[in-house]
Structure 1
Amino acid sequence: MFQIGEFSKLANVSIRSLRHYDKIGLLIPEKINTETNYRHYSASQLQTINKIQKLKEIGLSLSVIKEILASGSNTETIQAHFAIRELELQEELETIKQQNLLLESSLAVLKDDSAKLNYHVVQKEIPKRFVASVRDTIPTFANEGWLWERLYKEIIPQQVQFSKEPYNMAIFHDETYLDANVDVEVQVALKQSDYQAVNGVIFKEVPAETVASVIINGSYEQMTAVTETVAIWLENHNYQLNGPMFNIYHVSIATDPNPQNWVTEACFPIKEQNNEI
């Protein structure tokens, strides 16, 4: 029998970990002296601790390891948990690949701050128009597609007539940035607005508004640089924001799955700067 310190050295496991394993019932000492409370381990328990360490190395949790050991290291139990872990590793690998691509794309921007200035800001007017619209709170910005599906599901049966310039746009109504439960409205322009409102889809006339506009070719990862560019433009031209920003989708995932081909117009409603600010 070995005291906990001796067993710790033989197993290459800290005393703290051994005490934790004891506490959660993963590896209980062979014997505990009731008078001194000293823990004693047997040589055979080295095999168990080695299994625990090996299973930890492949990323299994202690609760899963405990289940495997309780099953007597049943082959089916092990294979089931290994299969789950393999799927987790594949997901982690995909995340790492995406982060690596982001790292490569971000490196050029971080090395050259002038890159963000390559975006061209244009002051323009979005005209008054009739629109079909649906506005709702969605879990995240990535769920915007739900609103488009809902919009078209209700307007197509009414045989609506789209405007020559449809102005497919998403308006982001939250006054501050939110990670979740975001207030988003999607609109498409029509020749007229006398259709039947249904399932939250309404038809209305929206007024013209002046915006600072930037065309984005490619994925939405560029939005951070775009907003920096627009902020500088606003200060330099004595303008301030005047309402929620919105995107006009000229080429989107709805018509082309390749992000490199997307064309998005980021629009920031503006008004002349209040000199009291």
Structure 2
Amino acid sequence: AWSAALELQRETVVEEARAAQARLALISHLIEGETSMSITVERRTIAAMTIVSLRDVIPTYSDEHLLWVRMMPEITRQGIKPIGPCGVIEHDAEYTEHDVDEEIFLPVAPGTTAAAPLRVHELPARDCLVAHIVGPYDQITGAHDRLATRIAAEGLTPPADDSLAGKSFNIYLTTPDAVPADQLVTEVYLPLG
């Protein structure tokens, strides 16, 4: 019982920290003169998809580029053709400061094969809450907060299992090499149970 109480307290503190980070990001944006954080949330059924991915533990979320630097030459070398915008699957159950377990991915045609270190996954259609973000990536924490608020308000639940299909993920509809930070469009997906 003691460990369960401590785990509950830990979860509460993690959620409070995430909320505080979102508030800090908002204050920073306001100080810098950015007056709007454009995050909207909707419920959506997403189609099944085939992805090719690369998974590893990176120092922090902002080090995701280290995975892309490794993956893209492999995509080219193996002749794999992406068919949509790239993304990342978050394997950690909650926000973590260091040693982040992430799996970057590109959607590909069904039947695509890949050799190590890349992997191919077939993901089913899923019911998700989706946060649509326009602006810098530092708004992703705020998007997770909005998703958590919506889940609580509507009594929704995430999947009970720990499968890849139940993990939270982001899709980058635009990327920093194509548009300025204030025009980035990202969607954060939270599958529902």
Instruction: Confirm or deny a common fold (TM above 0.5).
Output: yes
Check if 1:252 corresponds to 2:175.
yes
2:71 to 145, 151, 170: 151
- Look up the match of 2:156: 239
Q: Counterpart of 1:145 in structure 2: which amino acid?
A: H
- Larger relative contact order (Cα-Cα within 8 Å, sequence gap ≥ 6): 2
1:135 to 43, 55, 74: 55
Distance in 1 between residues matched to 2:74 and 2:140, nearest whole Å: 31
Q: Give the root-mean-square deviation of aligned CA atoms.
A: 2.6
- Indicate conservation of the 8 Å contact 1:131/1:193, yes or no: no
- Look up the match of 1:217: 134
Q: Deviations over 1:65-104 (max 9, x none)?
A: xxxxxxxxxxxxxxxxxxxxxxxxxxxxxxxxxxxx9755
- Look up the match of 2:191: 269
- Indicate conservation of the 8 Å contact 1:167/1:187, yes or no: no
* 1:234 positional shift: 1.2
For this pair of structures, how many residues does the alignment match? 161
- Structure 2 residues not aligned, in runs of 5+: 1-24, 160-165
- Structure 1 residues not aligned, in runs of 5+: 1-100, 272-277
Q: Counterpart of 2:108 in structure 1: which amino acid?
A: L
- Look up the match of 2:29: 105
* 1:228 positional shift: 2.6
* 1:134 positional shift: 0.7
* 1:248 positional shift: 0.4
Q: 1:236 to 1:193 in 2, by over 3 A?
A: same
Q: 1:162 to 1:238 in 2, by over 3 A?
A: same
* 1:184 positional shift: 0.2
- Look up the match of 1:197: 115
Q: 1:191 to 1:107 in 2, by over 3 A?
A: same
The structure richer in helix per residue is 1
Q: Counterpart of 1:162 in structure 2: which amino acid?
A: P
- Indicate conservation of the 8 Å contact 2:89/2:104, yes or no: yes
Distance in 1 between residues matched to 2:132 and 2:43, nearest whole Å: 12
- Indicate conservation of the 8 Å contact 1:173/1:244, yes or no: yes
Larger Rg, first or second structure (1 or 2)? 1
Q: Counterpart of 1:253 in structure 2: which amino acid?
A: P
- Look up the match of 2:94: 176
The structure richer in strand per residue is 2
1:226 to 127, 143, 146: 143
Q: 1:255 to 1:119 in 2, by over 3 A?
A: closer
Identity over aligned residues, as a percent? Answer: 26
Q: Deviations over 1:213-239 (max 9, x none)?
A: 011001122233322322221122221
TM-score by length of 1: 0.52
Q: Counterpart of 2:191 in structure 1: which amino acid?
A: P
Check if 1:126 corresponds to 2:43.
no
